[in-house]
């Protein structure tokens, strides 16, 4: 199993890379596969992989998905994304990468949220029939200042894209529900959320004094302790972690066998 990870974190410390490495290593052991995993630093070094890999995972990352428009690294990044789509290579795009691809393909309005989203949230599946191993709703780790709304459904139909999941329903809030997952093509899928987030790492993150104080200040004690409680629930984040990326890997390898 030969995997390319496109590191979009721009040198910022994160849990995402660790989680992705651990999921891939565990999957390879479970299925008795030899794993070759290469990492490419996209936003600083403008590194991109060739087309020789079985699977491509493009990570989340910090900052605005709008400010990099026209940059050299973006030019190279979208060049390889176009090539991967043409070659029908399996690609998973996470958070920042998801937002970039929505902007590049002109699928909707990539804009700043009214307030940051951070925590454990339910998301709802659409009738597109994906994520069949997960319940409806299923629970995700969300950490973002940006969102994709105002989808251009005619444009999506034209390129064969479909919405796979939507933000939780909030009847008391008169705001459009953001897209939380999109299939961009037959073998390219993207999630607004972090399917790689593990409960243990998230718990350690939330227990750091600086992060705890930040959540308490911004969201209050009830929200903070609810987050910790949900991380211990085997039917929430643990289920998504154990299911979504492994199912993507299953599918990716099945189409190449």
pTM score: 0.95
Rounded to whole angstroms, how far apart are CA atoms 227 and 86? Answer: 41
pLDDT > 90? residue 23: yes
Q: Mean per-residue pLDDT for 108-112?
A: 96
241: Cβ contacts below 8 Å, ≥ 6 apart: 19, 23, 195, 196, 197, 198, 199
* pLDDT value, residue 118: 83
Would you state the structure tokens that stand for residue 228, as one six-digit string?
């910790």
Cα dihedral across residues 44, 18, 161, 120: positive or negative = negative
* pLDDT value, residue 192: 96
Cβ atoms within 10 Å of 174's Cβ, excluding its own: 6
pLDDT > 80? residue 16: yes
Q: pLDDT band for position 257 (50/70/90)?
A: low
Classify strands 55-58 and 91-94 as parallel, antiparallel or unpaired.
parallel
How many domains does the chain divide into? 1
Q: Which residue has the higher pLDDT, 190 or 257?
A: 190
CATH of the domain at 48: 3.40.50.880
40: Cβ contacts below 8 Å, ≥ 6 apart: 4, 5, 6, 7, 47, 48, 49
Rounded to whole angstroms, how far apart are CA atoms 229 and 233? Answer: 7
Residue range of the domain that includes 10: 2-254
3-state helix, strand, coil in the chain (%, to 5): 35, 25, 40
Q: pLDDT band for position 249 (50/70/90)?
A: very high
Would you state the structure tokens that stand for residue 104, as one six-digit string?
């590049």
């Amino acid at each position: 199993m030969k995997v390319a990870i496109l590191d979009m974190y721009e040198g910022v410390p994160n849990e995402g890379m660790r989680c992705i490495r651990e999921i891939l290593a565990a999957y390879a052991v479970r299925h008795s596969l030899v794993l070759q995993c290469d990492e490419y630093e996209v936003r600083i070094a403008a590194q991109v992989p060739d087309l020789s890999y079985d699977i491509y995972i493009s990570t989340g990352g910090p900052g605005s998905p709008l400010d990099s428009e026209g940059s050299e690294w973006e030019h190279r990044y979208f060049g390889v994304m176009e090539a991967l789509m043409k070659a029908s290579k399996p690609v998973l795009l996470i958070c920042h990468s998801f937002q970039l691809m929505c902007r590049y393909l002109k699928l909707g309005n990539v804009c700043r949220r009214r307030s940051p989203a951070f925590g454990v949230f339910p998301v709802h599946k659409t009738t597109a029939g994906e994520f069949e191993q997960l319940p409806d709703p299923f629970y995700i780790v969300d950490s973002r200042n940006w969102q994709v709304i105002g989808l251009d459904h005619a444009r999506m139909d034209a390129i064969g894209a479909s919405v796979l999941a939507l933000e939780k329903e909030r009847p008391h809030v008169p705001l459009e529900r953001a897209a939380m997952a999109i299939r961009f093509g037959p073998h390219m899928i993207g999630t607004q959320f972090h399917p790689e987030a593990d409960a243990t790492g998230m718990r350690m993150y939330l227990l750091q004094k600086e992060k705890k104080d930040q959540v308490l200040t911004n969201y209050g004690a009830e929200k903070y302790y609810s987050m910790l409680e949900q991380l211990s629930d085997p039917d929430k984040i643990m289920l998504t972690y154990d299911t979504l990326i492994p199912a993507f890997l299953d599918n990716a390898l099945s189409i190449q066998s």
